Chain A
Amino acid sequence: MQWETVIGLEIHTQLNTVSKIFSGAATAYGAEPNRQACAVDLGLPGVLPVLNAAVVEKAVMLGLAIDARIAPRSVFARKNYFYPDLPKGYQISQYELPIVEQGYLDIDLEDGSRKRIGVTRAHLEEDAGKSLHEGFTAMTGIDLNRAGTPLVEIVSEPDMRSAKEAVAYMKKLHALVRYLGISDGNMQEGSFRCDANVSVRPRGRTEFGTRAEIKNLNSFRFVERAINFEVERQIDLIESGGTVVQETRLYDPDRDETRSMRSKEEANDYRYFPDPDLLPVVIHAEDIEAARRRLPELPDAKRERFISAYGLSAYDAGSLTASRELADYFEAVAAGCNAPKLAANWVMGDFSAALNRSEAGLAQSPVSAEALAQLLSRIQDETISGKIAKEVFDAMWSGEGEADAIIEARGLKQITDTAAIDAIIDEVIAANPSQLEQYRSGKDKLFGFFVGQVMKKTRGQANPAQVNERLRARLQGD
């Protein structure tokens, strides 16, 4: 039987506010346990939450960016359950009336087509703390630094049909929140994590199969692998006569498998009800317009602009706009050297390769956009060839200074003086009479040999186009 996969994602994004969603405690990552948990975060008797207005503004920006409806009135609700790292015995979230509803994201598929993925809703909530199991015997440590960290949970429609589509959606959303500047998107620190709802059904059937929810996937790779494993597990199960049960599963990256965590029967009844400690969040049309004015250029618009303004291919424009920093970097290089296509090739090519090798982020790049622009300008004005530029770039990357200084110090300046090039060509021809004879008797392939000899003699510094032109003339005996 032919099976179809159905996937919906719930993505938790940490909003990058200075203080927590309902208290004044700091949100900075990595502090000593419980150093960033105030009375409100600890859920002490008598404390009350006060909404951090910055959180609302960021959620509105997200809503606008996915063309969603911004609720004029949304309501915080309590999600009640007991857990040691949930200090109040309930999580403040939004339930019936979320702040953002009915948006979408367009993703690019491998075949070049686009697909629209619906976003059902996005709601604000507080994060829980962390249970620490290492370093304790017969006990669990509780760190409440994370308790009260602002999150926006973005829930998609079950519109994705493969793990690849799911990853494309997640990457697109990841880029978007970083473009918007509402989240650092740091996946290692848990600022951007995903629950995947996965089911399968016979191709052609309209009703959904029973889904499993895979919790807490914090990398693109894990999302893809977990979904693929889960799809296979469900198909195998059904084909061998079993049935999929609705349950929550955990992905184990070490064993590359998902395991059952709890079934629907064991699921909590969260007893949601509106939090009486908080007023409804009222958003006026003016607030929405103010947020709209603050929106940066978004990835899709930027991509279109790169195609039309710089004449880049759709693929190149897509790659360069995958992150806001890379797009900004590219634009700075392009502006500095006045050669957008050359800039695109270098930024996506040698520069990205070097960045990947060093495992550093763009912000830590040893070669600034201005420095790279200077290097590319030297290609443009034919001071150096593209090949020599690679050598200069490597030197720049290892901290030897600016392009001009390196070219000067290493004597890499291109030879463009026709007389000088002719003199070297004559030397080479004179030194290789038999090759000359063969060439003249029709062995055209030897042209390359002569080019190589000339370049070798000039340590690669001769202008390649000039060498070609002058050499061809000389060899033909002109």
Chain B
Amino acid sequence: MKLDTLASWARRLRVRDISSRELTEFYLGRIDRLDSQLNSFISVTPDLALAAADAADERLARGEEAPLLGLPVAQKDIFCTQGVRTSCGSKMLDNFIAPYTATVVERMNTAGAVMLGKTNMDEFAMGSSNETSHYGPVRNPWDPERVPGGSSGGSAAAVAARLVPAATGTDTGGSIRQPAAFCGITGVKPTYGRVSRYGMIAFASSLDQAGPMAASAEDCALMLNAMAGFDPRDSTSVERPAEDFTAGLRADLKGLRIGLPREFFGEGLDPGVRAAIEAALAVLRERGAELIEISLPNSGLSVPAYYVVAPAECSSNLARYDGVRFGHRCDEPRDLTDLYTRSRAEGFGAEVKRRIMIGTYVLSAGYYDAYYLKAQKVRRLIADDFRRAFGQVDVIAGPTSPETPFRLGEKSADPVQMYLSDIYTIAVNLAGLPGLSMPAGTVGNLPVGMQLIGNYFDEARLLGVAHQFQQETDWHARMPAPFV
């Protein structure tokens, strides 16, 4: 059987050219054969998958229509899935079988998706390289010595190697877009509030947002149709009429105003990445887009502001992992304090502990104003920058990451270097805007991602621009050789 895209599989399933069971077995076979090279899955669930595939086949036979009916997907292991281990990449939750299902997963299941398994990730989504996972690092399919990015590194690598046609990710500071860029796939971080956070294990609640990761913009649109929507169980989810994200794919680029923030093309940007992005921008200009230089003057403050807000929220969100009700509990605690300290010391990895400590510190009496409150003010300034920019342009474009995938271990010893890997993506989360990363070229053998940033709830436009770009180029269709 030959590989195909999610959208194409969907068409073929509908005309009964192939069954969901055949498709599911095909991808399960690929995972079985190839994932030892990548470590992109934490759990593979073949029994559940085949049962779901059979159910989908029955629905297809009845002529039912559902957006993802019969299509194999993978869920990032941050989403609670009833009856299946939901580890969040942590030893803390290695024994946690979720007793309920996240809204995103529930919506996808209702839409007919067939879950093949749960993908690897940085522990509690804290990392940019997938090296902080309790289940070991994920390898980049383009070069096994390099990282796939993080925190949704497992989803990105699995999609890039076509172990699954599409997967979910979550993005708190770039965790969908940066790994999508590193692995040469398309990923969307929707507007904050577009996709329900219920059942998605919280890292930083005001920044976390789930989104699709797939080979193309068209596939992402298909996924987003199923994932997005108001959820009364999430107070921060936004009530809006349902949107068909595939409808805007045929958008015309003529007259589209694309803003290029000068701050995203300055110091620290790898020359190879710059060249690839400029070439990609030239394609968009040829299709009629207008390129306008803009400024986001406060974007330099985004990394420091983020590393106050995100750890602050995480220090509180992760307090529930105390060894009392679920998750890791140390052996034979002497007393309550021992139970807390040992369970948490054993259950959490180093990066998670670092962020809990930073967060605890910045919220402490006497430091709150100087750190947390200040960071929230910076956040407003960053959002204001974008608001001004969107008065001038329709979308903003630039590199997703300043560099191509780095080597495993290269930045593990230097957290600040690691944090700078997300320098172009973090501002988008702080402002709550939608962002997309798409394959835009290569440096050597390694993929380069271009980021598109839209105004609030303008995902359809981003997907349209990406789709049009993907009509002109084939970066998104290229695959790492060992997995073809």
Which residues in A have some Cβ–Cβ distance to B below 8 Å?
Answer: 39, 42-51, 78, 80, 82, 84, 87-90, 142, 269, 271-273, 276-279
A46-B202 contact given A89-B316, A273-B316, CB 8 Å threshold: yes
Q: Number of B residues whose C-beta is below 8 Å from A?
A: 44
Contact B319 A89 (CB under 8 A): yes
Contact B205 A276 (CB under 8 A): yes
Contacts of A89 in B (CB 8 A): 316, 318-320, 322
B364 interface hit (Cβ, 8 Å)? yes
Contacts of A46 in B (CB 8 A): 79-80, 86, 98, 102, 197-202
Contacts of A78 in B (CB 8 A): 316
A276-B206 contact given A39-B100, A48-B198, A48-B234, CB 8 Å threshold: yes
Contacts of B417 in A (CB 8 A): none
Contacts of B206 in A (CB 8 A): 276
Which residue of A is nearest B198, CB measured?
A48
- Where chain B touches its partner, the secondary structure class is loop
Contacts of B336 in A (CB 8 A): 84
A278-B320 contact given A44-B326, A46-B80, A46-B199, CB 8 Å threshold: no
Distance in angstroms from A273 CB to nearest chain B CB is 6
**13 A-B residue pairings within 8 Å (CB atoms):** A44-B80, A45-B98, A46-B80, A46-B102, A46-B198, A47-B198, A87-B325, A88-B320, A89-B320, A89-B322, A142-B324, A272-B368, A273-B312
Which residue of A is nearest B232, CB measured?
A50
State in angstroms the CA–CA spacing of A278 and B206 once bound together.
Answer: 10
State in angstroms the CA–CA spacing of A237 and B199 once bound together.
Answer: 55
Q: Which of B313, B325, B364 contacts A269 (CB 8 A)?
A: B364
Q: Which of B285-303 contact A (CB under 8 A)?
A: none
Q: Which of B80, B102, B232, B363 contacts A273 (CB 8 A)?
A: B363
Contact B88 A45 (CB under 8 A): yes
Contact A45 B96 (CB under 8 A): yes
Distance in angstroms from B126 CB to nearest chain A CB is 15
The 5 closest A-B pairs by CB, nearest first: A89-B319, A276-B206, A271-B363, A276-B205, A46-B199
A48-B197 contact given A89-B316, A142-B324, CB 8 Å threshold: yes
Q: Which of B329-371 contact A (CB under 8 A)?
A: 336, 340, 360, 363-365, 368
Contact B99 A39 (CB under 8 A): yes
Contact B316 A49 (CB under 8 A): no
Contact B360 A42 (CB under 8 A): no
| B192-212 contact mask (Cβ, 8 Å, vs A): 1 or 0 | 000001111110111000000
Contacts of B326 in A (CB 8 A): 44-45
State in angstroms the CA–CA spacing of A84 and B340 once bound together.
Answer: 10
Distance in angstroms from A418 CB to nearest chain B CB is 79
Contacts of B360 in A (CB 8 A): 271
Q: Which of B260-281 contact A (CB under 8 A)?
A: none
Which residue of B is nearest A277, CB measured?
B205
Q: How many A-B residue pairs have CB under 8 A?
A: 98
Contacts of B235 in A (CB 8 A): 48-51, 277-279
Contacts of B233 in A (CB 8 A): 48, 50
Contacts of A84 in B (CB 8 A): 322, 324, 336
Contact B319 A276 (CB under 8 A): no
Which residue of B is nearest A278, CB measured?
B235
Q: Which of B88, B98, B234, B320 contacts A43 (CB 8 A)?
A: B320
Q: Which of B88, B199, B313, B340 contacts A47 (CB 8 A)?
A: B199
Distance in angstroms from A427 CB to nearest chain B CB is 85
Contacts of A39 in B (CB 8 A): 99-100
State in angstroms the CA–CA spacing of A48 and B200 once bound together.
Answer: 9
Contact B363 A45 (CB under 8 A): no
| B82-111 contact mask (Cβ, 8 Å, vs A): 1 or 0 | 000010100001001011101000000000
Contacts of A278 in B (CB 8 A): 235
State in angstroms the CA–CA spacing of A49 and B320 once bound together.
Answer: 14
B372 interface hit (Cβ, 8 Å)? yes
State in angstroms the CA–CA spacing of A78 and B324 once bound together.
Answer: 20
Which residue of A is nearest B327, CB measured?
A45
Contact A82 B364 (CB under 8 A): no
State in angstroms the CA–CA spacing of A61 and B200 once bound together.
Answer: 36
B43 interface hit (Cβ, 8 Å)? no
Distance in angstroms from B206 CB to nearest chain A CB is 4
Distance in angstroms from A202 CB to nearest chain B CB is 31
Contacts of B320 in A (CB 8 A): 43, 45, 87-89
Distance in angstroms from B316 CB to nearest chain A CB is 5
State in angstroms the CA–CA spacing of A341 and B159 once bound together.
Answer: 85
Contacts of A272 in B (CB 8 A): 363, 368
Contacts of B340 in A (CB 8 A): 82
Distance in angstroms from A130 CB to nearest chain B CB is 14
State in angstroms the CA–CA spacing of A80 and B93 once bound together.
Answer: 22
Assuming A47-B198, A273-B368, what are 11 further A-B pairs, CB within 8 angstroms? A43-B320, A44-B326, A46-B199, A49-B235, A50-B232, A80-B319, A80-B363, A89-B318, A89-B319, A89-B322, A269-B365
Contact A82 B322 (CB under 8 A): yes
State in angstroms the CA–CA spacing of A277 and B236 once bound together.
Answer: 7
Contacts of A88 in B (CB 8 A): 319-320
Q: Which of A44, A49, A271 contacts B364 (CB 8 A)?
A: A271
State in angstroms the CA–CA spacing of A278 and B313 once bound together.
Answer: 13
Contacts of A48 in B (CB 8 A): 197-198, 233-235
| B237-258 contact mask (Cβ, 8 Å, vs A): 1 or 0 | 0000000000000000000000
A90-B319 contact given A44-B326, A271-B360, A271-B364, CB 8 Å threshold: yes
Contact A90 B99 (CB under 8 A): no
Which residue of A is nearest B363, CB measured?
A271
State in angstroms the CA–CA spacing of A272 and B360 once bound together.
Answer: 11
Contact A42 B86 (CB under 8 A): no
State in angstroms the CA–CA spacing of A273 and B371 once bound together.
Answer: 12
Which residue of A is nearest B202, CB measured?
A46
Distance in angstroms from A39 CB to nearest chain B CB is 5
Distance in angstroms from A424 CB to nearest chain B CB is 81
Which residue of B is nearest A38, CB measured?
B100
Distance in angstroms from A206 CB to nearest chain B CB is 28
Distance in angstroms from A415 CB to nearest chain B CB is 73
Contact B88 A80 (CB under 8 A): no
State in angstroms the CA–CA spacing of A167 and B234 once bound together.
Answer: 42
Contacts of A49 in B (CB 8 A): 235
Contacts of A50 in B (CB 8 A): 232-235
